[in-house]
Chain A
C-alpha cells in the first residue's frame, strides 16, 4: 500500500517478492543479448542533501513554472524496475540490466518519478513493480545527481493493479479520472 511520505527513507518497503519478478520477466521484451546482461541488484544511494530535501513531503501541487498539470504524491519507496523496450539505436549505449532496483520518488495521474543508479534515455519503455501494482511508463527525462544516482521522470502508459490495495484504487483513479488528485 502506498504511504504518504513523512517517515523519510525508513518508510521504504522491502523488495517485492517472486510475483514481481515473474511479471517483470514476462513483460520483458529486450533482445537476447541485452537480457544476458548481469542482473544488477544495486540500489541507488541518494546524496544526503537530496534525501533531506525530499523527506517529509506529501502532496505537491504543480507550480506555474513547471509544465506539469497534476499534483504529485511523494512516495519514496523501493520498487523493481524492468526494461521493456529500448529503441535499437540506443542498444549500444549502456549495459542496462533487464531488472534493477529503484526508489520511486513520486507519482501523479500521468507520471512517475524515480531514482536509479544508471541513466536511462527518453523514449525507453520501462515497468515499475510496486508492492501491489505494476506501472508501465516511457522515460521522458533524466537528470544526474552523482555518477550512481540519476533522477528520472516517466510518463505512465499503463497501470495494472490488485483490488485489495487502496493505493491501487488511487493509481487507477489517477489513470482514468479527469479529476485532479
Chain B
C-alpha cells in the first residue's frame, strides 16, 4: 500500500471514498495523499479489490484523501454509474454521503448526456436519475439547507437542472404528491432547460444586458424543449414542466402567458424551485443570494408569480 509513486498532484483528481465498493475490482489505480506536502502512494492497484475492513479504515480513520489519475477519471465515472444503485441502496453508508454522491453523479451523468446532444439519451438519463434519486430520498428526506450545502452552485445548465430536480423532489414530497408523481416531477425538472442547449454559451453567460434578439432566443427555450421532447416517452406533466416553467400565475410569464390553474401544477411547483435555485447560484451577471434573501424575492411575488400554497410550503422547507 505504501509504494511512493512519481506522480504530481496535478496528474491526480480527488475522489470520495464512498464511491468505492468492497470486493469489486475498480480497474483503476487509487492513490493516497496523507498530507498536503506528502507524495502520493499507491493505495490499491487496478487489479486488486478492496475489502470491507479496508474501506472502513478509509472512511473512518485514514488521514488524507484518495485520488485517481486524471486519465482514469472517465473510467471511474463508468464504474460509479455501473455500481451507483448498489451504493445508494447501501443503508450502512451515511445518508449524507449517499446524498452527496447522488448529487455529484447526477451532475456528471447529466453533463455527459447534455454534451452528447442526443435527446433520446438525455431523456433516458433523466428517467434513470429520477428513479434513483426519488428512491434514495423517499424514506429519509433531507433538509433543503443540507441539500444546498451538498450541491454545487455554478452556472452550468446541468448543475442548475440537478439542483432544481432535487429541490422539486423535496417540495413535491412535502406537498403530498405520490411517489409516481414525484418521479415525474424530478424527470421533468432534470429536463426543464433542455431547450437551452440550442442557445450559445455567449448569450447564456452574458454579463451585460441582453439585446431583444438574445432575449427572444432565451424565451424560446421552453418551446424548443417541448418540441425536442414531445416524441420521447414522457408524460404530459413532465412535458408541461419543460413548456410552462416560466409561466406566471398572473399571466406575465412566457411562452403563452397562461394564468392560474391553466398552468400545470408540476410547472407551478418547478417555477418556484427554478427561481430559487437561480437566485442562490452564482451567475456571471450577479452574485448568489443567501437563502433568506432569495425567499424574500420569491415572497414579493406570492400569488402574483407563484402559487401561494406551494410557496408557503417551500418557505417552510427552506426555513427548517
Q: Which residue numbers of A lie inside 8 Å of B, CB to CB?
A: 64-65, 67, 87, 89-93, 119, 121-123, 140-144, 147, 150
Contacts and interface: CB of A to CB of B under 8 A. Distances in A.
A124 to B, nearest CB: 9
Contacts of A121: 226, 230, 243
B255 to A, nearest CB: 6
Which 4 pairs of residues, A with B, have the shortest CB-CB distance? A144-B257, A65-B212, A87-B230, A123-B230
Contacts of B231: 87, 89
Chain B interface residue number, banded: 20 to 34
Interface string B189-213: 0000000000000000000000011
Given A65-B213, A67-B216, A89-B234, 17 more contacts: A65-B212, A87-B231, A90-B236, A90-B239, A93-B236, A119-B258, A121-B243, A122-B226, A122-B243, A123-B227, A123-B230, A141-B223, A143-B255, A143-B257, A144-B251, A144-B259, A147-B262
A119 B226 CA distance: 15
A140 B223 contact: yes
A89 B235 contact: yes
Contacts of A141: 223, 255
Contacts of B243: 121-122
B213 A123 contact: no
A121 B236 CA distance: 12
A67 B219 CA distance: 13
A161 B234 CA distance: 38
A65 B236 contact: no
B78 interface: no
Contact of A92 (B230, B236, B256, B257): B236
B239 A89 contact: yes
Interface in B220-255: 223, 226-227, 230-231, 234-236, 239, 243, 251, 255
A89 B230 contact: yes
A141 B254 CA distance: 11
A122 B223 contact: yes
B225 to A, nearest CB: 10
A87 B228 CA distance: 12
Given A90-B230, A122-B223, A123-B227, A142 B235 contact: no
B266 to A, nearest CB: 13
B13 to A, nearest CB: 40
B226 A123 contact: yes
Contacts of B255: 141-143
Interface string B255-277: 11111001000000000000000
Given A89-B235, A141-B223, A144-B251, A119 B256 contact: yes
Contacts of A64: 213
B230 A144 contact: no
B256 A143 contact: yes
25 contacts: A65-B212, A65-B213, A67-B216, A87-B230, A89-B230, A89-B236, A89-B239, A90-B236, A90-B239, A92-B236, A93-B236, A119-B256, A119-B258, A119-B262, A121-B226, A121-B230, A121-B243, A122-B230, A123-B227, A140-B223, A141-B223, A144-B256, A144-B259, A147-B262, A150-B256
Nearest to A86: B230
Nearest to B264: A93
Contacts of B234: 89
B96 to A, nearest CB: 37
Nearest to A65: B212
A90 B244 CA distance: 13
A91 B255 CA distance: 20
B63 to A, nearest CB: 53
Contacts of B257: 143-144
Contacts of B227: 122-123
Nearest to B223: A122
A143 B216 CA distance: 14
Contacts of B236: 89-93
Contacts of A140: 223
Nearest to A119: B256
A125 to B, nearest CB: 12
A38 to B, nearest CB: 21
Contacts of B213: 64-65, 67
A27 B257 CA distance: 31
A143 B227 CA distance: 16
Contact of B256 (A90, A91, A123, A142): A142
